[in-house]
Protein backbone atom coordinates (compact mmCIF):
# COMPACT_ATOMS: atom_id res chain seq x y z
CA UNK A 1 0.00 0.00 0.00
CA UNK A 2 2.69 2.49 1.02
CA UNK A 3 4.65 1.49 -2.02
CA UNK A 4 1.62 2.31 -4.19
CA UNK A 5 1.12 5.70 -2.51
CA UNK A 6 4.82 6.54 -2.91
CA UNK A 7 4.70 5.57 -6.56
CA UNK A 8 1.66 7.81 -7.16
CA UNK A 9 3.28 10.69 -5.29
CA UNK A 10 6.45 10.40 -7.35
CA UNK A 11 4.40 10.34 -10.52
CA UNK A 12 2.51 13.45 -9.42
CA UNK A 13 5.77 15.21 -8.54
CA UNK A 14 7.23 14.45 -11.96
CA UNK A 15 4.07 15.70 -13.67
CA UNK A 16 4.22 18.90 -11.63
CA UNK A 17 7.88 19.37 -12.58
CA UNK A 18 6.97 19.04 -16.26
CA UNK A 19 4.11 21.46 -15.83
CA UNK A 20 6.27 24.01 -14.03
CA UNK A 21 9.06 23.57 -16.56
CA UNK A 22 6.58 23.95 -19.39
CA UNK A 23 5.12 27.08 -17.83
CA UNK A 24 8.59 28.57 -17.42
CA UNK A 25 9.50 27.74 -21.01
CA UNK A 26 6.20 29.20 -22.23
CA UNK A 27 6.75 32.37 -20.16
CA UNK A 28 10.31 32.73 -21.48
CA UNK A 29 9.08 32.40 -25.04
CA UNK A 30 6.38 35.00 -24.44
CA UNK A 31 8.95 37.33 -22.85
CA UNK A 32 11.16 37.11 -25.91
CA UNK A 33 8.42 37.00 -28.56
CA UNK A 34 7.42 40.02 -30.67
CA UNK A 35 5.03 42.27 -28.81
CA UNK A 36 1.62 43.64 -29.85
CA UNK A 37 2.72 47.27 -30.35
CA UNK A 38 1.56 48.33 -33.82
CA UNK A 39 3.34 51.72 -33.91
CA UNK A 40 6.44 52.99 -32.13
CA UNK A 41 5.89 55.00 -28.95
CA UNK A 42 7.97 57.23 -26.71
CA UNK A 43 7.85 55.77 -23.19
CA UNK A 44 8.56 58.20 -20.38
CA UNK A 45 9.88 56.71 -17.14
CA UNK A 46 9.54 59.16 -14.27
CA UNK A 47 12.25 59.40 -11.59
CA UNK A 48 11.40 57.05 -8.71
CA UNK A 49 9.23 54.80 -10.86
CA UNK A 50 9.32 50.98 -10.76
CA UNK A 51 8.67 48.03 -13.05
CA UNK A 52 5.08 47.65 -11.85
CA UNK A 53 4.19 51.21 -12.94
CA UNK A 54 6.11 50.86 -16.18
CA UNK A 55 4.38 47.55 -16.95
CA UNK A 56 0.97 49.12 -16.37
CA UNK A 57 1.90 52.08 -18.60
CA UNK A 58 3.08 49.75 -21.35
CA UNK A 59 -0.09 47.67 -21.13
CA UNK A 60 -2.17 50.85 -21.32
CA UNK A 61 -0.37 51.86 -24.54
CA UNK A 62 -0.72 48.39 -26.03
CA UNK A 63 2.99 47.55 -25.88
CA UNK A 64 2.68 44.43 -23.69
CA UNK A 65 -0.18 41.98 -23.19
CA UNK A 66 0.60 41.15 -19.58
CA UNK A 67 2.17 43.68 -17.20
CA UNK A 68 2.57 40.86 -14.66
CA UNK A 69 4.63 38.77 -17.07
CA UNK A 70 6.62 41.89 -17.99
CA UNK A 71 7.48 42.45 -14.32
CA UNK A 72 8.28 38.77 -13.69
CA UNK A 73 10.53 38.68 -16.74
CA UNK A 74 12.41 41.77 -15.57
CA UNK A 75 12.81 40.18 -12.11
CA UNK A 76 14.01 36.91 -13.61
CA UNK A 77 16.55 38.80 -15.74
CA UNK A 78 17.68 40.57 -12.56
CA UNK A 79 17.03 43.99 -14.11
CA UNK A 80 14.18 45.36 -12.01
CA UNK A 81 16.58 47.43 -9.92
CA UNK A 82 18.34 48.84 -12.99
CA UNK A 83 15.41 50.93 -14.25
CA UNK A 84 16.52 54.30 -15.65
CA UNK A 85 14.52 57.51 -15.68
CA UNK A 86 14.10 59.15 -19.08
CA UNK A 87 12.23 58.90 -22.37
CA UNK A 88 12.83 55.80 -24.45
CA UNK A 89 11.84 54.91 -28.00
CA UNK A 90 9.94 51.61 -28.05
CA UNK A 91 9.84 50.21 -31.56
CA UNK A 92 6.74 48.58 -33.07
CA UNK A 93 6.65 44.86 -32.26
CA UNK A 94 9.30 45.17 -29.52
CA UNK A 95 9.42 42.15 -27.22
CA UNK A 96 9.20 42.53 -23.44
CA UNK A 97 12.88 41.57 -23.28
CA UNK A 98 13.80 44.34 -25.74
CA UNK A 99 11.74 46.88 -23.79
CA UNK A 100 13.39 45.91 -20.51
CA UNK A 101 16.81 46.26 -22.13
CA UNK A 102 15.86 49.68 -23.54
CA UNK A 103 14.85 51.11 -20.16
CA UNK A 104 17.66 49.58 -18.11
CA UNK A 105 20.75 49.86 -20.32
CA UNK A 106 22.67 52.95 -21.44
CA UNK A 107 20.94 55.44 -19.20
CA UNK A 108 20.34 58.04 -21.94
CA UNK A 109 16.98 59.08 -23.31
CA UNK A 110 16.43 57.96 -26.89
CA UNK A 111 13.33 60.02 -27.66
CA UNK A 112 11.27 62.86 -26.27
CA UNK A 113 12.42 66.47 -26.20
CA UNK A 114 15.75 67.72 -27.49
CA UNK A 115 17.21 71.22 -27.30
CA UNK A 116 19.66 72.06 -30.09
CA UNK A 117 21.99 75.05 -29.86
CA UNK A 118 22.86 75.82 -33.48
CA UNK A 119 26.13 77.71 -33.75
CA UNK A 120 26.08 79.38 -37.16
CA UNK A 121 28.28 81.77 -39.08
CA UNK A 122 26.08 84.80 -38.43
CA UNK A 123 24.16 83.84 -35.27
CA UNK A 124 23.40 81.18 -32.70
CA UNK A 125 19.83 79.95 -32.55
CA UNK A 126 18.07 77.66 -30.09
CA UNK A 127 15.68 75.00 -31.33
CA UNK A 128 13.35 72.86 -29.22
CA UNK A 129 12.19 69.76 -31.03
CA UNK A 130 10.25 66.59 -30.26
CA UNK A 131 10.79 63.11 -31.70
CA UNK A 132 7.74 61.71 -33.48
CA UNK A 133 7.97 57.96 -32.75
CA UNK A 134 5.80 57.10 -35.75
CA UNK A 135 8.24 58.61 -38.24
CA UNK A 136 11.39 58.57 -36.07
CA UNK A 137 11.89 62.20 -37.11
CA UNK A 138 12.16 65.31 -34.98
CA UNK A 139 9.43 67.94 -35.26
CA UNK A 140 10.23 71.54 -34.35
CA UNK A 141 8.36 72.93 -31.33
CA UNK A 142 9.97 76.37 -31.28
CA UNK A 143 13.12 78.10 -32.54
CA UNK A 144 14.44 81.52 -31.57
CA UNK A 145 17.46 83.79 -31.54
CA UNK A 146 18.30 84.39 -27.86
CA UNK A 147 19.99 87.71 -28.66
CA UNK A 148 17.10 89.24 -30.60
CA UNK A 149 14.00 87.47 -29.28
CA UNK A 150 12.32 86.83 -25.94
CA UNK A 151 12.89 83.38 -24.48
CA UNK A 152 9.69 81.36 -25.06
CA UNK A 153 8.05 79.31 -22.31
CA UNK A 154 8.41 76.17 -24.43
CA UNK A 155 12.17 76.45 -23.91
CA UNK A 156 12.21 77.28 -20.20
CA UNK A 157 9.69 74.53 -19.47
CA UNK A 158 11.69 71.72 -21.09
CA UNK A 159 14.84 72.81 -19.28
CA UNK A 160 13.08 71.84 -16.04
CA UNK A 161 12.53 68.29 -17.23
CA UNK A 162 15.15 65.72 -16.27
CA UNK A 163 14.95 63.72 -19.51
CA UNK A 164 15.51 66.63 -21.91
CA UNK A 165 18.49 66.02 -24.19
CA UNK A 166 20.92 68.75 -25.27
CA UNK A 167 23.03 69.10 -28.39
CA UNK A 168 25.43 71.68 -29.80
CA UNK A 169 25.33 71.73 -33.62
CA UNK A 170 28.28 73.57 -35.17
CA UNK A 171 27.92 74.73 -38.79
CA UNK A 172 30.69 74.45 -41.36
CA UNK A 173 32.68 77.66 -41.77
CA UNK A 174 32.30 78.91 -38.20
CA UNK A 175 35.51 80.24 -36.65
CA UNK A 176 37.06 78.92 -33.45
CA UNK A 177 36.40 82.22 -31.70
CA UNK A 178 32.72 82.03 -32.62
CA UNK A 179 32.45 78.48 -31.29
CA UNK A 180 34.10 79.32 -27.97
CA UNK A 181 32.05 82.49 -27.61
CA UNK A 182 28.81 80.57 -28.21
CA UNK A 183 29.69 77.71 -25.85
CA UNK A 184 30.76 80.12 -23.12
CA UNK A 185 27.33 81.71 -23.44
CA UNK A 186 25.46 78.47 -22.64
CA UNK A 187 24.38 78.48 -19.00
CA UNK A 188 24.19 74.67 -19.07
CA UNK A 189 27.96 74.34 -19.55
CA UNK A 190 30.53 74.95 -16.83
CA UNK A 191 34.01 76.51 -16.78
CA UNK A 192 34.25 79.09 -19.55
CA UNK A 193 37.32 78.87 -21.80
CA UNK A 194 39.55 81.85 -22.54
CA UNK A 195 42.17 80.23 -24.80
CA UNK A 196 40.88 79.92 -28.37
CA UNK A 197 41.79 76.62 -30.12
CA UNK A 198 43.78 76.96 -33.34
CA UNK A 199 41.66 77.99 -36.31
CA UNK A 200 40.46 75.02 -38.31
CA UNK A 201 41.07 72.50 -35.52
CA UNK A 202 37.40 72.06 -34.50
CA UNK A 203 35.17 69.71 -36.49
CA UNK A 204 31.78 71.13 -37.46
CA UNK A 205 29.27 68.51 -36.34
CA UNK A 206 26.58 67.77 -33.77
CA UNK A 207 27.66 67.06 -30.18
CA UNK A 208 25.41 65.79 -27.39
CA UNK A 209 26.13 67.07 -23.90
CA UNK A 210 24.63 67.06 -20.42
CA UNK A 211 24.06 70.00 -18.08
CA UNK A 212 27.19 70.52 -16.03
CA UNK A 213 29.61 69.35 -18.75
CA UNK A 214 32.52 71.73 -19.33
CA UNK A 215 33.16 73.85 -22.39
CA UNK A 216 36.63 72.30 -22.60
CA UNK A 217 35.18 68.77 -22.82
CA UNK A 218 33.15 69.70 -25.90
CA UNK A 219 36.12 71.44 -27.51
CA UNK A 220 38.21 68.31 -26.92
CA UNK A 221 35.61 66.20 -28.74
CA UNK A 222 35.65 68.65 -31.66
CA UNK A 223 39.44 68.67 -31.81
CA UNK A 224 39.72 64.88 -31.70
CA UNK A 225 37.13 64.49 -34.44
CA UNK A 226 38.80 67.04 -36.74
CA UNK A 227 42.17 65.36 -36.19
CA UNK A 228 40.72 62.02 -37.30
CA UNK A 229 38.92 63.50 -40.33
CA UNK A 230 42.03 65.34 -41.52
CA UNK A 231 44.32 62.32 -41.03
CA UNK A 232 41.98 60.07 -43.02
CA UNK A 233 41.59 62.57 -45.85
CA UNK A 234 45.34 63.22 -46.01
CA UNK A 235 45.98 59.47 -46.21
CA UNK A 236 43.61 59.24 -49.20
CA UNK A 237 44.72 62.44 -50.97
CA UNK A 238 45.22 62.74 -54.70
CA UNK A 239 48.82 62.65 -55.97
CA UNK A 240 50.85 65.70 -56.96
CA UNK A 241 48.94 68.30 -54.97
CA UNK A 242 50.73 71.61 -54.23
CA UNK A 243 50.26 70.98 -50.50
CA UNK A 244 53.17 70.12 -48.25
CA UNK A 245 51.33 69.06 -45.11
CA UNK A 246 47.93 68.29 -43.56
CA UNK A 247 48.04 71.79 -42.09
CA UNK A 248 48.20 73.33 -45.58
CA UNK A 249 45.34 71.08 -46.64
CA UNK A 250 43.29 72.42 -43.73
CA UNK A 251 44.04 76.01 -44.81
CA UNK A 252 42.89 75.31 -48.37
CA UNK A 253 39.81 73.45 -47.12
CA UNK A 254 38.82 76.44 -44.99
CA UNK A 255 38.97 78.71 -48.06
CA UNK A 256 36.85 76.26 -50.06
CA UNK A 257 34.37 76.17 -47.16
CA UNK A 258 34.00 79.94 -47.11
CA UNK A 259 33.79 80.31 -50.89
CA UNK A 260 30.84 78.01 -51.58
CA UNK A 261 27.87 76.58 -49.80
CA UNK A 262 26.94 74.38 -52.77
CA UNK A 263 28.07 70.85 -52.03
CA UNK A 264 28.28 69.80 -55.68
CA UNK A 265 30.83 72.46 -56.60
CA UNK A 266 33.27 72.17 -53.70
CA UNK A 267 35.68 70.06 -55.73
CA UNK A 268 35.47 72.50 -58.65
CA UNK A 269 36.25 75.43 -56.36
CA UNK A 270 39.13 73.45 -54.90
CA UNK A 271 40.43 72.77 -58.40
CA UNK A 272 40.60 76.52 -59.11
CA UNK A 273 42.82 77.13 -56.10
CA UNK A 274 44.97 74.06 -56.79
CA UNK A 275 45.46 75.24 -60.39
CA UNK A 276 46.38 78.72 -59.18
CA UNK A 277 48.90 77.35 -56.69
CA UNK A 278 50.43 75.14 -59.38
CA UNK A 279 50.68 78.13 -61.74
CA UNK A 280 52.16 80.45 -59.10
CA UNK A 281 49.11 82.72 -59.16
CA UNK A 282 47.71 84.60 -56.18
CA UNK A 283 44.54 83.01 -54.84
CA UNK A 284 42.69 86.36 -54.73
CA UNK A 285 39.82 85.21 -52.54
CA UNK A 286 37.72 87.69 -50.55
CA UNK A 287 37.11 85.50 -47.46
CA UNK A 288 40.83 85.55 -46.64
CA UNK A 289 40.83 89.35 -46.78
CA UNK A 290 37.82 89.46 -44.46
CA UNK A 291 39.57 87.15 -42.00
CA UNK A 292 42.55 89.49 -41.97
CA UNK A 293 40.19 92.26 -40.86
CA UNK A 294 38.01 90.41 -38.33
CA UNK A 295 40.51 87.79 -37.13
CA UNK A 296 37.54 85.46 -37.05
CA UNK A 297 35.77 87.42 -34.31
CA UNK A 298 32.33 87.76 -35.85
CA UNK A 299 31.25 88.77 -39.34
CA UNK A 300 32.29 91.87 -41.27
CA UNK A 301 28.71 92.83 -42.05
CA UNK A 302 29.52 94.91 -45.14
CA UNK A 303 31.29 94.72 -48.45
CA UNK A 304 35.04 94.95 -48.80
CA UNK A 305 36.61 98.30 -49.63
CA UNK A 306 39.24 98.68 -52.34
CA UNK A 307 41.70 99.90 -49.72
CA UNK A 308 41.18 96.66 -47.79
CA UNK A 309 41.81 94.56 -50.88
CA UNK A 310 45.15 96.37 -51.28
CA UNK A 311 46.12 96.37 -47.61
CA UNK A 312 48.82 93.86 -46.75
CA UNK A 313 47.90 91.39 -44.02
CA UNK A 314 49.15 87.81 -43.57
CA UNK A 315 45.76 86.60 -44.91
CA UNK A 316 45.25 88.95 -47.85
CA UNK A 317 45.60 86.59 -50.81
CA UNK A 318 45.32 89.53 -53.22
CA UNK A 319 48.75 90.54 -51.90
CA UNK A 320 50.51 87.41 -50.60
CA UNK A 321 51.63 84.94 -53.28
CA UNK A 322 50.55 81.71 -51.57
CA UNK A 323 48.30 80.21 -48.92
CA UNK A 324 47.66 82.31 -45.81
CA UNK A 325 49.46 81.19 -42.63
CA UNK A 326 46.39 79.68 -40.95
CA UNK A 327 42.92 78.45 -41.83
CA UNK A 328 40.23 81.14 -41.93
CA UNK A 329 37.46 78.97 -40.41
CA UNK A 330 36.69 75.42 -39.37
CA UNK A 331 35.99 73.39 -42.52
CA UNK A 332 33.76 70.34 -42.56
CA UNK A 333 34.67 66.90 -43.83
CA UNK A 334 33.33 67.55 -47.35
CA UNK A 335 35.53 70.61 -47.86
CA UNK A 336 38.60 68.84 -46.47
CA UNK A 337 38.03 65.94 -48.84
CA UNK A 338 37.45 68.35 -51.74
CA UNK A 339 40.73 70.16 -51.04
CA UNK A 340 42.61 66.86 -51.07
CA UNK A 341 40.73 65.33 -54.00
CA UNK A 342 39.76 68.24 -56.27
CA UNK A 343 38.18 67.83 -59.69
CA UNK A 344 40.60 67.73 -62.61
CA UNK A 345 39.85 70.99 -64.43
CA UNK A 346 41.59 73.88 -66.19
CA UNK A 347 39.55 76.49 -64.29
CA UNK A 348 41.45 79.39 -62.77
CA UNK A 349 38.55 81.82 -62.23
CA UNK A 350 35.08 81.76 -60.76
CA UNK A 351 32.42 84.31 -59.85
CA UNK A 352 28.90 84.16 -58.39
CA UNK A 353 26.24 83.29 -60.96
CA UNK A 354 23.16 84.58 -59.15
CA UNK A 355 21.78 81.14 -58.24
CA UNK A 356 23.90 80.58 -55.14
CA UNK A 357 26.59 78.83 -57.15
CA UNK A 358 29.42 80.03 -59.38
CA UNK A 359 30.36 80.40 -63.03
CA UNK A 360 33.82 79.00 -63.77
CA UNK A 361 36.29 80.04 -66.48
CA UNK A 362 39.64 78.93 -67.84
CA UNK A 363 40.69 82.37 -69.16
CA UNK A 364 40.33 86.03 -68.31
CA UNK A 365 38.05 86.95 -71.22
CA UNK A 366 35.46 84.36 -70.24
CA UNK A 367 35.79 85.34 -66.61
CA UNK A 368 35.21 89.01 -67.41
CA UNK A 369 32.07 88.03 -69.32
CA UNK A 370 30.86 86.06 -66.31
CA UNK A 371 31.63 89.02 -64.05
CA UNK A 372 29.60 91.32 -66.32
CA UNK A 373 26.62 88.98 -66.02
CA UNK A 374 26.96 88.97 -62.25
CA UNK A 375 27.22 92.79 -62.10
CA UNK A 376 24.02 93.06 -64.13
CA UNK A 377 22.26 90.70 -61.72
CA UNK A 378 23.49 92.77 -58.77
CA UNK A 379 22.27 95.99 -60.37
CA UNK A 380 18.85 94.50 -61.14
CA UNK A 381 18.49 93.28 -57.56
CA UNK A 382 19.51 96.66 -56.16
CA UNK A 383 16.97 98.41 -58.39
CA UNK A 384 14.14 96.05 -57.44
CA UNK A 385 14.90 96.49 -53.73
CA UNK A 386 14.95 100.28 -54.08
CA UNK A 387 18.58 100.70 -53.04
pLDDT on residue 387: 56
Contact yes or no for 270/256 (Cβ under 8 A): yes
Res 4 pLDDT > 50: no
Percent of the chain at pLDDT exceeding 70: 91
Contact yes or no for 317/284 (Cβ under 8 A): yes
pLDDT on residue 25: 57
For residue 113, give the nearest of 98, 127, 131 by alpha carbon.
Answer: 131
Res 180 pLDDT > 50: yes
- Predicted confidence (pLDDT) per residue in 72-112, tens digit: 888 878 888 888 887 888 888 888 888 888 888 866 777 78
Q: In the predicted model, what is the mean pLDDT of residues 130-150?
A: 88
Res 51 pLDDT > 90: no
pLDDT band at 378 (very low <50, low <70, confident <90, very high): confident
- Coil, strand or helix: which one is 151? coil
Q: Is 8 exposed, middle or buried (0-12, 13-18, 19+ CB in 10 A)?
A: exposed
Listing DSSP states for 231-269 in one string gives HHHHHTPPTT-S--SHHHHHHHHHHHHHH---GGGHHHH
For residues 385 and 126, the model is more confident at 126
Indicate the average pLDDT of the chain. Answer: 88
**Strands across the sheet with 206-209, in order?**
137-144, 124-132, 113-119, 165-170, 206-209
For residues 384 and 336, the model is more confident at 336
Q: Where are the domains of the chain?
A: 31-111, 113-230, 238-385
pLDDT band at 64 (very low <50, low <70, confident <90, very high): confident
pLDDT on residue 35: 80
pLDDT on residue 7: 47
Q: In the predicted model, what is the mean pLDDT of residues 12-36?
A: 61
Highest mean pLDDT among 57-61, 133-137, 358-362 belongs to: 358-362
For residues 67 and 256, the model is more confident at 256
pLDDT on residue 11: 55
- CATH homologous superfamily of 31-111 equals Endolytic murein transglycosylase (3.30.1490.480)
Percent of the chain at pLDDT exceeding 90: 55
β pairing state of 137-144 and 124-132: antiparallel
- Predicted confidence (pLDDT) per residue in 188-247, tens digit: 999 999 999 999 999 999 999 999 999 999 999 999 999 999 999 999 999 999 999 999
For residues 347 and 110, the model is more confident at 347
What's the whole-model pTM score? 0.80
Contact yes or no for 127/116 (Cβ under 8 A): yes
pLDDT on residue 6: 46
Res 3 pLDDT > 50: no
pLDDT on residue 111: 78
Res 68 pLDDT > 80: yes
Q: For 287, phi and psi rounded to 5 degrees?
A: -55, -30
- How many beta carbons lie within 10 A of that of residue 130, not counting itself? 16
Amino acid sequence: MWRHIASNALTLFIVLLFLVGGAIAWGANQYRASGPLAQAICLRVEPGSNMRRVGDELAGQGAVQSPVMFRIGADYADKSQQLKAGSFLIEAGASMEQIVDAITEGGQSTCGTEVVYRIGVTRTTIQVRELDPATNRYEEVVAFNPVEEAVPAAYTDVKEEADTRYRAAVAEGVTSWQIVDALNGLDLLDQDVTDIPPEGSLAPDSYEFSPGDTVASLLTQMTDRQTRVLAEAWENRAPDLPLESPEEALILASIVEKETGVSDERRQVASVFVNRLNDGMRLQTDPTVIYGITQGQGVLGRGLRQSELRRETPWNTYVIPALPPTPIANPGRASIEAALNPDQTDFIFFVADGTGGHAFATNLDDHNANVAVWRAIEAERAESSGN
